[in-house]
């Protein structure tokens, strides 16, 4: 649905995008992740036909951005990183305005605006002034606006930035719902964990170069960062049950385990990078007679995986 092939973009002497290639299939929820200045917004503006690439090809739905701007604008809903300032407009007027701008016939506007208000959970705020909305509501209004013309593809530039944890969860739920409705979504963030759980795939960009594209799971594996489990054992009042050292010895022979550390009664177990099931660890513990009082899986911080991945690519 979205293709970039060898796209470069310069601002004067600054290279904002450097030979970027990226492919996003229909129905994907693609997380576009990179630090400030990486080139995320530039990429999205090219796809929204607001900027022209210097070299390379970019297309949406098979339509080239250089030749089919008009058609692409119908296909794409682009939410920029700033909503802009709209004084003296209510939520309802704001959406009606964009419905008119998209040339939706007046008779249909009411029901379309109702639909997007419902979807973005803003019905109760329809008469509120846009600039009185909280940040989370403004971001949802931004999404509501790009849904007005029912585009197949959504380009959402940092929709979760500046949101509190609850508003972030609501935004995630909204994006997941939109994916269920069949939209293809490209969503950017500079915080990996903001997107990790919901995306079907991610791309990591830094200084205009794509460092990684693929599934989150593969990103972990490539970064060599397996999941960790903290296991606490109890010898039992009778002194029976495997000692932590003995359990660690058994676990270290288990192929699903990359490393084991022992600290007092607690084992720190790192799974092999491609290992997602805890089952082999549980079976090994039972097999050696360990009495487990706590079994706490700890997701490796995605940020750590990200750092390792970017370091690996740059070295
Ligand atoms: N209009 C412009 N004129 C000159 N330089 C620009 C312009 N827009 C962006 N840049 C530069 O291009 C690079 C990429 O910017 P871009 O906005 O695409 O990054 P980003 O990944 O969206 O960053 P952020 O996370 O801060 O939004 C940056 O170095 C930025 O300073
Ligand atoms: Mg940006």
CATH of the domain at 284: 3.30.70.100
In-domain check, residue 313: no
Tell me how far the alpha carbon of residue 186 lies from the centroid of ligand 2, in angstroms.
13
Q: Which of 213, 201, 218 is nearest to 28 (CA)?
A: 201
Place of tokens 């509190």: 164
Q: Domain range spanning residue 210? A: 2-222
Tell me how far the alpha carbon of residue 190 lies from the centroid of ligand 1, in angstroms.
13
More confident residue, 161 or 76: 76
Shared-domain flag, residues 156 and 287: no
* The pLDDT of residue 315: 41
Shared-domain flag, residues 74 and 153: yes
DSSP single-letter state for residue 253: T
Predicted TM-score of the model (pTM) = 0.78
DSSP letters, 71-86, are: HHHHHEEEE-S-----
In-domain check, residue 151: yes
Report the number of distinct structural domains present in the chain. 2
d(CA 175, CA 177) in angstroms, rounded, equals 5
Shared-domain flag, residues 194 and 259: no
Shared-domain flag, residues 130 and 278: no
Shared-domain flag, residues 210 and 232: no
Residue with CA closest to ligand 1 atom 24: 36
Shared-domain flag, residues 264 and 155: no
Shared-domain flag, residues 241 and 100: no
Between the two ends of the chain, the Cα-to-Cα distance in Å is 32
Shared-domain flag, residues 217 and 241: no
Q: Which of 115, 147, 141, 113 is nearest to 128 (CA)?
A: 141
CATH of the domain at 19: 3.40.50.300
Residue with CA closest to ligand 1 atom 25: 36
Shared-domain flag, residues 240 and 270: yes
Q: Indicate if the pLDDT at residue 206 is higher than 60.
A: yes
Shared-domain flag, residues 215 and 137: yes
* The pLDDT of residue 12: 93
* The pLDDT of residue 314: 45
Distance from the Cα of residue 45 to its chain's centroid: 18
Residue with CA closest to ligand 1 atom 31: 37
Of 187, 222, 257, the one marking the end of a domain is 222
* The pLDDT of residue 297: 81
Tell me how far the alpha carbon of residue 9 lies from the centroid of ligand 1, in angstroms.
11
Contacts of 290 (CB under 8 A, 6+ apart): 231, 233, 241, 242, 246, 247
Shared-domain flag, residues 147 and 241: no
Residue with CA closest to ligand 1 atom 27: 36
> Regarding beta strands 184-189 and 29-33, do their DSSP bridges make them parallel or antiparallel, or are they unpaired?
parallel
Q: What residue ranges line ligand 1, CB within 6 angstroms? A: 11, 14, 16, 34, 36-42, 81, 190
């Amino acid at each position: 649905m979205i293709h970039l092939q060898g796209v470069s973009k310069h601002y004067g002497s600054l290279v904002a995008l450097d030979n970027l290639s990226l492919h996003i299939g229909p129905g994907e929820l693609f997380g576009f992740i990179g630090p400030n200045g990486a080139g995320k917004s530039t990429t999205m503006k090219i796809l929204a036909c607001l900027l022209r690439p210097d070299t390379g090809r970019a297309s949406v739905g098979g339509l080239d951005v250089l030749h089919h701007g008009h058609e692409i604008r119908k296909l794409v809903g682009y939410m920029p990183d700033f909503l802009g300032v709209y004084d003296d407009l209510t939520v309802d007027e704001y959406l009606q305005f964009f419905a008119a701008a998209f040339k939706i016939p007046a008779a249909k506007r009411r029901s379309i605006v109702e639909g997007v208000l419902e979807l973005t959970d803003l019905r109760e705020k329809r008469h509120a002034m846009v600039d009185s909305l909280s940040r989370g509501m403004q971001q949802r209004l931004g999404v509501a606006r790009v849904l007005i013309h029912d585009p197949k593809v959504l380009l959402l530039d940092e929709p979760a930035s500046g949101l509190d944890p609850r508003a972030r969860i609501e935004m995630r739920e909204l994006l997941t719902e939109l994916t269920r409705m069949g939209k293809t979504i490209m969503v950017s963030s500079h915080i990996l964990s903001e997107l990790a759980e919901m995306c079907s795939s991610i791309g990591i960009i830094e200084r205009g170069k794509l460092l990684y594209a693929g599934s989150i799971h593969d990103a972990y594996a490539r970064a060599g960062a397996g999941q960790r489990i903290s296991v606490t054992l109890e010898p039992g009042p009778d002194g029976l049950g495997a000692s932590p050292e003995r359990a660690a010895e058994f676990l270290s022979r288990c192929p699903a385990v990359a490393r084991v550390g022992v600290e007092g009664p607690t084992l720190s177990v790192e799974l092999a990078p491609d290992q997602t099931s805890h089952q082999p660890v549980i079976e090994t513990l039972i097999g050696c007679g360990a009495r487990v009082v706590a079994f706490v899986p700890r997701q490796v911080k995605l940020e750590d995986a990200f750092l390792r991945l970017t370091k690996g690519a740059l070295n």
